[in-house]
Structure 1
């Protein structure tokens, strides 16, 4: 790219790419399961796109071109980064969020569905769905996301992955089978939960925690609810187990909750009272999953370092 072409095309590149940055970042997050890895993938993809922008003669093809670059960058990262451990012997019902590097995602606009996609955009950024993707080989993961989440056609997917249509379809079917095995029935379209109902349920949950009322907390949970605390390996399932855990540990202390959102779901910054400093200190980011009017899962990420990305303070006064 010459100096003259740089001066000419830079404003055009920035103007055309700006509306696509957020969706590219979500795409890389789905592929990699990590916000930080997605940051790197998007940055490197846009640098590569900028360097080759003068070769893109059809500006209308910018979006699929960027997705091809970003997807290939994610596949390269998956191949070259140190292989990460995956829990392979999950007991029945174990939370799929039992993956050490999985991170919650600060919400973008995740409403709606692409015309030819199988998944609602919000459903396709759920923690459990993103976790299930991490068990798939890279090519299967990419084919499923491009087809079932983003709604690209078989031909377009093959072109983006630079493989044959038959190979793309084969990767898609294997990817669907892999996700279905870990999330039975989740590929079927479901009516979206009512946002007002979810917000009210979240408010009641926070109030119950701040009151230290274990009965009120448990009353908001489904009978088969799960409670996990990445990166700790311990997790709990069912009302008796969760009730016993809460009474034996967390509810011996004072808490404050601040509402946020992550992965298209309600989330809370949770703060533990520190007597010596007389402040509530950041403890964990809790993401809740609501199904059929009850809280079906709580994933408590024990990492206060996440709070700034979610617009949450690191401590609260009394």
Structure 2
């Protein structure tokens, strides 16, 4: 791995900051939380800055920073429970089910703005977006921490087995074994989906139809856009629903408070997202997952007090 920063006169903090976005993406995949990822990267930067005089270019700066970040993440994961999605915690509910008691933020895989974790040329950004999809990040949380690191470094970041072995202070054989086990563990995960491109007319049309149906509360039109296996979940509530019929029943019943909402577009986890504003104020960050031209997953993150500022969404709409 070549060192992307070669200017020896460049201030240390600028050399380190050049890696912030990709390190945040790495830590987010490891930890499943944008907030914890930013904490991990900040700790990485502090350790790197303090130890920079001892670094002396003995290894590529990028590799050295990833070693620090990996150690920070492994320490954070040592005392943390595995983050999950509502679908991991129990069977689907019905339109008449109660939402359940909210669970703490640390239970859930959270969303991340693309801008915090993507940088570089368009090809690198495309790979990064695909590998931060909610389903993929949630699947990673099922892996032991070191397996998780191996899979991300080998499969997402395209490091060689020798480079990963050096970073983790282990053997190439151990890295290859861990990668094989990680691949097997993810083989059964439901990772179908597409990374939407705003420039694709078909994708733009789908999103326009979604916004029009949602804001007009045309539930027939809305459900016509849904995949037959669509899921709806609402962290921090444990309830989740499967199928257009149950989602229709929910939105016409318990969820009818969404009538009259307005949507403001954004992007989360490489997928289209919207800030949802009910008539009473900000309500949810909606993240869509798409498969075969239909919406296959709808995640409504309800922690708007933390998430809207993270995504640059206003806490109130004028007009």
Q: Give ranges in structure 1 of 5+ residues lacking alignment.
A: 1-8, 93-97, 275-280
Tell me the TM-score normalized by structure 2. Answer: 0.84
Q: How many angstroms does 1:101 deviate by?
A: 2.6
- Closer, same or farther: CA 211–27 of 1 in aligned 2, 3 Å: same
Which whole-Å CA distance do the structure 2 matches of 1:100 and 1:235 have between them? 15
Question: 1:133–1:297: structure 2 CA closer, same or farther, 3 Å change rule?
Answer: same
CA distance in 2, matches of 1:134, 1:216: 35
> Retained in 1: the 8 A contact 2:196–2:271?
no
Q: Please, what is the CA RMSD of the aligned residues? A: 2.6
2:236/2:301 contact within 8 Å kept = yes
Q: Which has the higher contact order (CA 8 A, sep 6+)?
A: 2
Residue 18 to residue 167, structure 1, CA distance change in 2 (3 Å) = same
Partner of 1:287: 287
Q: Is the 8 A contact 2:13 2:49 kept in 1?
A: no
In 2, the alpha carbon distance for the partners of 1:193 and 1:105 equals 16
Range moving further from structure 2, 207-216 or 46-55:
46-55
77, 81, 89: which one aligns with 1:83: 81
In 2 relative to 1, CA 163–59 (structure 1 residues): closer, same or farther, beyond 3 Å? closer
1:214 to 194, 212, 219: 219
Alignment coverage as a number of residue pairs: 291
- CA deviations on 1:220-263 (whole Å, 9 max, x unpaired) are 11111111111111111111111111111333532111011100
**Preserved contact between residue 83 and residue 141 of structure 2 (Cα < 8 Å):** no
User: Counterpart in 1 of 2:30?
Assistant: 31
Task: Tell me the distance in 2 between the aligned counterparts of 1:200 and 1:170.
Answer: 45
SS at match of 1:316: coil
Equivalents in 1 of 2:59, 2:205: separation in Å? 43
Query: What TM-score comes out, normalization by structure 1 length?
Result: 0.84
Structure 2: runs of 5 or more not aligned: 1-7, 93-102
Structure-2 residue corresponding to 1:243 = 248
Query: What is the Cα deviation at residue 89 of structure 1?
Result: 6.0
